[in-house]
């Protein structure tokens, strides 16, 4: 986004490599078995590759797209060796991730405060992501305000308060059961008055009644835009990468309930299901903005497709 710069250090790269290790070893272990003893990319190899991609939680629709693109290349080039398969896959996956990129707003064109409404079911790391995101912004010199808009659970407010203290950011909260839109309103009002750069607003993580969720999120957005026009700037959906196909279902539910603009995929370090980053971004036409590759406060990274693909295909 416009006011958070991509700063990719050697330490971040090492953490990314480490975080994707389980996914990578699982994927290439299966791929190695699929092409063992074969020299040419033919129908049998593509069938096996399809199974490997689906088993790696890339998703059926995205897998079919990748296979079709490789088939086109095989048809065009007449002969492709299995030794070229890694390079071809790398190019196609990078291409898919590039398709979901959107033009960045320049910071000078953004009306402050920059408002991010954070959505996602309970347990995906939503509140933790908000805390780490606040830390990311602060590391780049931004003043951050947190809004405890998940008034459905007292624990959510308490958890966000712990993070607010940890990152030394003001927390705007009300009693449990209060109107979340009122919390959002107060948060933006506080941010405007105190000339804050960023507002991060938590929302209720429940999906048992999609109609009510849709109404609640719409109301929050409507109240925000009354305070400062054209807010929020982002609706960030947090997904737990370790849940694999369940993350696809959550993305489907939330993209139906509200206009999701960006994705954060957490807990990639503890899973072999990192393929969800590729599949969800492609299937729902929403860019991955942040990825979680560890439990530390610095382990939420601004997603960099080039570095992600490089780590994914890096051969030790």
What is the C-alpha to C-alpha distance for residues 31 and 270, in angstroms, rounded to an integer?
21
In this predicted structure, what is the pLDDT of residue 36?
82
What is the C-alpha to C-alpha distance for residues 171 and 187, in angstroms, rounded to an integer?
8
Question: Across the strands, what pairs with 292?
Answer: 300
More confident residue, 148 or 217: 148
| pLDDT, tens only, 16-57 | 888 889 888 888 888 888 788 888 888 888 999 999 999 888
In this predicted structure, what is the pLDDT of residue 194?
96
Q: Is the pLDDT of residue 112 over 90?
A: no
Of the candidates 262, 291, 258, the residue with the CA atom closest to the CA atom of residue 276:
291
Of the candidates 34, 31, 199, 186, the residue with the CA atom closest to the CA atom of residue 112:
199
In this predicted structure, what is the pLDDT of residue 79?
67
Phi-psi sector, 37: left (phi>0), alpha (psi -120 to 50), beta: left
Instruction: Give the C-alpha distances (Å, rounded to integers) separating 50 from 6, 213, 279, 285.
Output: 33, 36, 13, 21
Q: Are 86 and 312 in contact (CB under 8 A)?
A: no
In terms of DSSP H, where are the helices of the chain? 10-19, 21-35, 43-55, 60-77, 85-99, 126-139, 154-167, 180-193, 210-227, 245-257, 276-284, 305-313
Phi-psi sector, 117: left (phi>0), alpha (psi -120 to 50), beta: beta
| pLDDT, tens only, 61-79 | 999 999 999 888 888 876 6
The pTM for the full model equals 0.91
| pLDDT, tens only, 195-236 | 999 999 999 877 655 667 778 888 999 998 888 888 999 999
Q: Three-state SS for 206?
A: coil
The gap between the terminal CA atoms of the chain, to the nearest Å, is 32
DSSP 153: -
In this predicted structure, what is the pLDDT of residue 207?
62
In this predicted structure, what is the pLDDT of residue 109?
67
Contacts of 203 (CB under 8 A, 6+ apart): 117, 118, 119, 149, 150, 180, 216, 217, 220
More confident residue, 188 or 73: 188
Q: Is the pLDDT of residue 256 over 90?
A: no
What is the C-alpha to C-alpha distance for residues 64 and 39, in angstroms, rounded to an integer?
22
Q: Is the pLDDT of residue 300 over 60?
A: yes
Phi-psi sector, 168: left (phi>0), alpha (psi -120 to 50), beta: left
What is the C-alpha to C-alpha distance for residues 22 and 286, in angstroms, rounded to an integer?
25
Q: Is the pLDDT of residue 1 over 60?
A: no
Q: Which whole number is the average pLDDT over 239-257? A: 88
For residue 273, what is the enclosing H or E element?
Answer: none
């Amino acid at each position: 986004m416009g006011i958070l710069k991509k700063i990719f250090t050697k330490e971040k790269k090492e953490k990314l490599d480490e975080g994707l290790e389980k996914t990578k070893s699982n994927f290439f272990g299966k791929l190695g078995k699929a092409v063992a003893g074969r020299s040419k990319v033919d129908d049998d190899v593509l069938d096996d590759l399809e199974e490997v991609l689906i088993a790696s939680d890339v998703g059926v629709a995205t897998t079919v797209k990748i296979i079709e693109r490789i088939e086109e290349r095989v048809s065009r080039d007449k002969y492709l060796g299995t030794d070229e398969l890694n390079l071809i896959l790398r190019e196609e996956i990078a291409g898919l991730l590039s398709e979901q990129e959107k033009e960045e707003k320049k910071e000078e064109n953004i009306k402050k405060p920059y408002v991010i409404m954070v959505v996602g079911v309970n347990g995906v790391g939503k509140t933790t992501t908000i805390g780490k995101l606040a830390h990311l912004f602060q590391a780049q010199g931004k003043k951050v305000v947190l809004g405890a808009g998940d008034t459905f659970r007292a624990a959510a407010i308490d958890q966000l308060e712990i993070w607010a203290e940890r990152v030394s950011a003001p927390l705007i909260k009300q009693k449990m059961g209060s109107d979340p839109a009122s919390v959002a309103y107060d948060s933006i009002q506080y941010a405007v008055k105190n000339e804050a750069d960023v507002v991060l607003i938590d929302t209720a993580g429940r999906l048992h009644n999609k109609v009510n969720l849709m109404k609640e999120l719409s109301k929050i957005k409507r109240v925000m835009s009354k305070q400062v026009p054209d807010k929020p700037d982002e609706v960030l959906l947090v997904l737990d990468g370790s849940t694999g196909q369940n993350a696809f279902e959550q993305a489907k539910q939330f993209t139906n309930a509200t206009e999701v603009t960006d994705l954060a995929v957490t807990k990639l370090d503890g899973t072999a299901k990192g393929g969800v980053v590729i599949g969800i971004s492609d299937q729902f036409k929403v860019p991955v903005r942040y990825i979680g590759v560890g439990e530390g406060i610095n382990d939420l990274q601004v997603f960099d497709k080039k570095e992600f693909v490089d780590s994914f295909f890096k051969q030790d």
